[in-house]
Chains A and B, each alone.
Chain A
Amino acid sequence: DTAVSQTPKYLVTQMGNDKSIKCEQNLGHDTMYWYKQDSKKFLKIMFSYNNKELIINETVPNRFSPKSPDKAHLNLHINSLELGDSAVYFCASSPEITANYGYTFGSGTRLTVV
């Protein structure tokens, strides 16, 4: 059983399209995150939800909108995709609102905008 699963694994789309990435965790964790990893492997946090409540919202274009229907799911919707959105997007979860225990990561969604 995969602990943190993301779909799709690969996503190739044209500029201007709207797309969604889904994430689910079966660990019973309270907190979920979205990170973006660029081509140089640099990881930057985008959003965090704790029990369906948005708690971290970094400086991210408002074309990116997260949604958490329940504490086991966190989705990311991206409007009007741009070339610069090409990256690997990772979902992660942690047991509680502090990140002291570390995260469990999903395997990533590689988004390519052409």
Chain B
Amino acid sequence: GNSVTQMEGPVTLSEEAFLTINCTYTATGYPSLFWYVQYPGEGLQLLLKATKADDKGSNKGFEATYRKETTSFHLEKGSVQVSDSAVYFCALSDNSSASKIIFGSGTRLSIRP
């Protein structure tokens, strides 16, 4: 079945460091891929998405590129801020007629001032 694997956390970085959170997926067909962010005590918010191979999603300085050859959708940011501290979820939707989003296990990111 479809699944998402992302790097385990917690990830702790200093402010202005470069961020990469790895994500790989297993799916039949051509899923849509997402990154969601969850701040403490809140629901998940869509951060970015990509719907086909080689698409790049971007938002708030975060980027991820849909790589079909490596079945990956790694999240990157060039310079993180304390306010980026949150849990990040990689996810996919299988594009079937009654599809659902399957989430990875989440990666907790902490940024030190």
Q: Show the binding face of A for B, using Cβ within 8 Å.
A: 4, 33, 40-43, 45, 48, 50, 55-56, 90, 92, 97-100, 102-108
Whether B51 sits at the interface, judged by CB under 8 Å, is: yes
In whole angstroms, how far apart are the Cα atoms of A100 and B96 in the complex?
9
Among candidates B32, B45, B46, residue contacting A100 with C-beta atoms closer than 8 Å: B32
Among candidates A55, A99, A100, A105, residue contacting B43 with C-beta atoms closer than 8 Å: A105
Among candidates B45, B93, B96, B100, residue contacting A105 with C-beta atoms closer than 8 Å: B45
A42-B106, A43-B103 given; A98·B96 CB < 8 A: yes
- B99/A50 in contact, CB under 8 A: no
- A99/B93 in contact, CB under 8 A: yes
Among candidates B46, B51, B87, residue contacting A41 with C-beta atoms closer than 8 Å: B87
- B100/A97 in contact, CB under 8 A: no
Best-buried of B38, B42, B43, B93 by chain A (most CB within 10 Å)? B43
Extra pairs beyond A90-B43, A97-B98 (6, CB < 8 Å): A90-B44, A92-B44, A98-B93, A98-B95, A102-B34, A107-B42
A40-B105, A41-B105, A43-B103 given; A105·B97 CB < 8 A: no
In whole angstroms, how far apart are the Cα atoms of A38 and B1 in the complex?
21
15 sample A-B contacts, Cβ–Cβ < 8 Å, listed by A number? A40-B105, A41-B106, A41-B108, A42-B105, A43-B89, A48-B98, A50-B98, A55-B98, A90-B44, A97-B97, A99-B99, A102-B46, A105-B43, A106-B43, A108-B42
In whole angstroms, how far apart are the Cα atoms of A102 and B41 in the complex?
21
- A56/B98 in contact, CB under 8 A: yes
In whole angstroms, how far apart are the Cα atoms of A107 and B42 in the complex?
5
Nearest-CB residue, chain A, relative to B92: A99
- A45/B49 in contact, CB under 8 A: no
Nearest-CB residue, chain B, relative to A104: B46
Question: What residues of chain B lie closer than 8 Å to A4, measured between beta carbons?
Answer: 43
Question: What residues of chain A lie closer than 8 Å to B87, measured between beta carbons?
Answer: 41
